[in-house]
């Protein structure tokens, strides 16, 4: 089901006389605490915690996964040694946007994807949309476009013929305690993680 994003009026906060305002260091500590919580789900999955507890949902290659902000289909992956010896891993599939505004695929520690091979893990670094490395967002037309999600793994990583991929569910709202930092955005919803094992093709090293 598409997530409807409502535009709300902007309010200006006015300090009331006699109301004690929280010191800046309190605000910074609370916001930092929320940031730590936001990456917990990703970290636990990457370290294998969800595999042991079975607190994740499985999907098959080619199966649709609704991540809240975007809907993904992941088919396969490739891995190729770069000139520096590290592995460049690309997860291939498609993505569509069922919402009412253009949205990016979220990268980084609290992003849409992570991969794991044995005990070696990586989070999403960048994406190519529709075969265009310069394209930053998915249009809100609910039409699938080509997706290439890029990751890097250390040179010593041992790769086999498959790759574990995690898709993290997002929701729209504020992640800040008492809304101290203000604003709403897409962020990890909870402990819901979709996990799949994709076929992995090892390519010839770059020259």
Q: Is residue 8 part of a domain?
A: no
Name the domain count of the chain.
1
Note the pLDDT of residue 55: 57
Q: Is residue 5 part of a domain?
A: no
Q: pLDDT digits over 97-152, tens only?
A: 999 999 999 999 889 999 999 889 999 999 999 999 999 999 999 999 999 999 99
User: Residue 104 contacts by C-beta under 8 Å, 6 or more apart in sequence?
Assistant: 136, 137, 138
Q: What is the pTM (predicted TM-score) of this model?
A: 0.73
Q: Is residue 155 part of a domain?
A: yes
pLDDT of 89 strictly over 80: yes
Confidence of residue 15 (pLDDT cuts 50, 70, 90): very low
The number of residues in the chain equals: 207
Scanning the structure block, which residue is given the tokens 């607190």? 55
Cβ atoms of 177 and 30 within 8 Å: the answer is: yes
Q: pLDDT digits over 24-76, tens only?
A: 444 444 444 444 444 444 555 554 544 443 457 899 999 999 999 999 999 99
Q: Is residue 138 part of a domain?
A: yes
Q: Is residue 13 part of a domain?
A: no
Tokens of 151: 């990751």
Domain that holds residue 112: 24-202
Cβ atoms of 106 and 95 within 8 Å: the answer is: no
Q: Is residue 16 part of a domain?
A: no
Cβ atoms of 134 and 83 within 8 Å: the answer is: no
Q: Is residue 12 part of a domain?
A: no
CA distance linking residue 38 with residue 175, whole number of Å: 8
Q: Is residue 11 part of a domain?
A: no
């Amino acid at each position: 089901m598409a997530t409807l994003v409502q535009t709300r009026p902007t309010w200006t906060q006015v300090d009331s006389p006699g109301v004690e305002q929280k010191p800046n260091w309190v605000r910074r500590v609370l916001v930092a605490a929320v940031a730590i919580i936001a990456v917990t789900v990703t970290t636990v999955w990457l370290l294998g915690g969800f595999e042991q507890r079975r607190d994740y949902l499985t999907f098959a290659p080619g199966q649709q996964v609704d991540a809240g902000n975007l809907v993904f289909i992941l088919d396969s992956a490739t891995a190729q040694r770069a000139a520096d010896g590290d592995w460049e891993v690309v997860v291939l599939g498609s993505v569509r946007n069922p919402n009412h505004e253009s949205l990016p695929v979220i990268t980084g520690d609290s992003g849409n994807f992570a991969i794991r091979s044995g005990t070696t893990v990586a989070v999403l670094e960048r994406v190519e949309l529709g075969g265009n490395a310069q394209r930053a967002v998915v249009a809100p037309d609910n039409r699938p476009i080509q997706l290439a999600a890029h990751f890097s793994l250390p040179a010593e990583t041992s790769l086999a013929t498959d790759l574990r991929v995690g898709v993290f569910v997002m929701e729209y709202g504020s992640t800040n305690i008492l809304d101290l930092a203000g604003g709403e955005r897409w962020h990890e919803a909870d402990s819901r993680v979709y996990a799949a094992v994709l076929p992995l093709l090892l390519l010839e090293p770059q020259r």
